[in-house]
Amino acid sequence: MAKALADSKQPIYVGTEWEPFTEKGSAANAQWIADMEKAGRPLTAFSQGGYLAAQVFLDVLKGIDGEVTRESVNKALLEMKPISNPLAGSPYVFGEGKTHSPMQATKVMKLDGGTWKVETPDWVALPAVQ
């Protein structure tokens, strides 16, 4: 999208759910980048999201005492405590609830000549869903 809109005269801003993947020097991205490069995988928002999902899923699986079955995984997900990860600005939780909005923080990016630039280096926390 950045390349396609590079010549736009319109200011373009987006919010991120994770540490901006374009920030190669970010401490939060360091392990993800190392793991992706080792595996020969591209550094994209999609690979970052999949990586974070896998990390959370593995943390939940490690917490299962006993046999790992469909039922034990479902139970562990429903009972999980929030999991923090440096890639995300707020803890991730699945659990039981009428609504789910685990990603409650964002960093705002601005498109500048075909390149995304971080506008808010600190996470902006969004209000909780009531």
Residue 2 lies in a domain: no
Residue 59 lies in a domain: yes
Residue 130 lies in a domain: no
Specify whether the CB–CB gap between 73 and 64 falls below 8 A. Answer: yes
Residue 94 lies in a domain: yes
Give the domain extent around 61. Answer: 13-125
Strand 115-118 to strand 13-16: parallel, antiparallel, or no bridges (unpaired)? unpaired
Helix runs in 27-124, H state only: 30-39, 45-62, 70-79
Residue 57 lies in a domain: yes
Per-residue pLDDT of the chain (130 residues; tens, 9 = 90+): 788 888 888 899 999 989 999 999 999 999 999 999 999 999 999 999 999 999 999 999 999 999 999 999 999 999 988 899 999 998 888 877 776 667 789 999 999 988 899 999 999 988 876 6
Specify whether the CB–CB gap between 108 and 14 falls below 8 A. Answer: yes
pTM: predicted TM-score of the whole model, two decimal places:
0.82
Name the residue among 65, 95, 63 with its Cα closest to residue 82. 95
Number of domains in the chain: 1
Sign of CA dihedral 52, 49, 99, 71: negative
Residue 6 lies in a domain: no
Residue 4 lies in a domain: no
Residue 85 lies in a domain: yes
